[in-house]
Amino acid sequence: MNDPSGHRPGRDPAAEPPDARIAALLRAAAALAPDAAAFASDPRAAAETALAVAAAELAALRAYRERTERQMEELFNTITAYAALEYDRRAVVLDDNDELINAMAIGLNMMGEELSHTMKALVRARDEALAASRAKSAFLANISHELRTPLNAIIGYAEIIREDLVETGQDALTLDVDRLQVASRHLLNLIQDVLDLARIEAGRVDVRLETTDLRTLLQELQTTLAPSVKDAGNVLHARVQVSRPQILTDPLRLQQILLNILGNANKFTVGGDITLSAGDHVEHGRDFVDITVADTGIGIPADKLETIFDAFTQVDETSTRRFGGTGLGLAISRRLCDLLGGSIVVTSELRRGSTFRVRLPVDGPERHR
């Protein structure tokens, strides 16, 4: 076994093979290693290391298609970095060389060629995936806009009809009009969620930063949600303990994030408690604010915690039928948190409740500083 320096015990690292051609071959193979200089004193060890590195890289590339879309960009950047290495350099196979050395040289050449082809295929696949994603986002944005226009007209005409029915004393007929309005507004909200997600994925969401009073914003949220919280038989508590209530953020986007989380907490909690709190946090010398929403609702299974932020995802079909929704709220919230330079995480326990924590920088996203 090699020691950490790459040298073999019992062998003089400075010793060169007696055959100059073998030594040249080993040096060529060593040049394929990620850090050829570190193994210059032991060419054979360098060749073995280069073979292992090439094999590991090839295995990683073959596993690429099993990775998520989020990992695609990171993997592509890694591949681009490796592409800077001279993978097209070929190790020379010479007559009368050691069979093991020749086999290693042939293997390195074949792996280098396959790696080059795989990298080109990955670049094409990535470009096609990005183009498809942009086309999907553009389609969703356009179709959502086209659907909202007639829906708003339906809601408007329904309000006019209701007023006419009340004026003519036909109050019994207003129940059907009310149902029409409720269904139309629900559909309009779903379309708005799809439109928001499409805009975010297409990079069309602008962040407008301004100094925001966190205490006022959370108080307004509490007032807005009070009727729906009461209807569900829940109690909403609020605690704000921050040293700097003035933060630089986009208040409308922050409200949207918290409304999504608080709406879920209220939807999945019946006759329980919901706590909205804010506190200070310091990370790497930078000031953040932690906004936490904790409930005593049905909770989330541990194996679902990694997927609840994916678009169109619900914990299970039962909760979709029982509680409604498309599963877009948390996906939108996470993407908006990223735009604001923050993060969102969740902890949960079945039948005990869930806790969502939104962490935002007090002085705004770094890219805007």
Count Cβ atoms within 10 A of the Cβ of residue 81 and give its class: 0-12 exposed, 13-18 middle, 19 or more buried: exposed
Q: What is the mean pLDDT of the chain?
A: 76
Can you tell me the distance from the alpha carbon of 294 to that of 348, in angstroms, rounded to the nearest whole number? 9
Can you tell me the distance from the alpha carbon of 72 to that of 70, in angstroms, rounded to the nearest whole number? 5
> Are 231 and 192 found together in one domain?
no
| pLDDT tens profile 326-347 | 678 898 999 999 999 999 999 9
Query: Which range of residues forms the domain containing residue 344?
Result: 210-368
> Are 231 and 154 found together in one domain?
no
> Are 31 and 148 found together in one domain?
yes
> Are 223 and 192 found together in one domain?
no
> Are 164 and 193 found together in one domain?
yes
| pLDDT tens profile 277-301 | 999 999 999 999 999 999 999 999 9
* Boundary (domain end) residue, out of 166, 186, 205: 205
> Are 91 and 191 found together in one domain?
yes
Q: Could you tell me the CA-to-CA distances from 174 to 166, 170, 186 in Å, in that order?
A: 7, 7, 18
Lowest mean pLDDT among 87-101, 106-120, 162-176, 194-208: 87-101
Share of the chain above pLDDT 70, in %: 62
> Are 128 and 231 found together in one domain?
no
Q: What is the pLDDT of residue 50?
A: 58
Report yes or no: 358 and 335 within 8 Å, Cβ to Cβ: no
* Boundary (domain end) residue, out of 177, 205, 233: 205
Q: What number of other Cβ atoms are within 10 A of residue 74's Cβ?
A: 10
Provide the pLDDT confidence category of residue 3 given band limits of 50, 70 and 90.
very low
Higher-pLDDT residue of 119, 310: 310
> Are 361 and 290 found together in one domain?
yes
> Are 74 and 104 found together in one domain?
yes
> Are 337 and 230 found together in one domain?
yes
Provide the pLDDT confidence category of residue 1 given band limits of 50, 70 and 90.
very low
The token pair at 210 is: 């301004």
Lowest mean pLDDT among 73-77, 113-117, 169-173, 349-353: 73-77
> Are 176 and 223 found together in one domain?
no
Q: Which residues of 258-276 are buried (b: 16+ CB within 10 A; e: fewer)?
A: bebbbbbbbbbbeebebbb
* Boundary (domain end) residue, out of 173, 188, 205: 205
Overall domain count for the chain: 2
Provide the pLDDT confidence category of residue 4 given band limits of 50, 70 and 90.
very low
Provide the pLDDT confidence category of residue 107 given band limits of 50, 70 and 90.
low
Instruction: For residue 302, give the CATH number of its domain.
Output: 3.30.565.10
| pLDDT tens profile 131-172 | 777 777 677 667 766 777 888 888 888 889 989 988 988 888
| pLDDT tens profile 223-255 | 999 999 999 999 999 999 999 999 999 999 999
Residues 6+ apart with CB under 8 A from 77: none
| pLDDT tens profile 65-101 | 455 555 556 655 555 555 544 444 455 555 555 666 6
Which residues on adjacent β-strands are paired with residue 278? 240, 291
> Are 147 and 185 found together in one domain?
yes
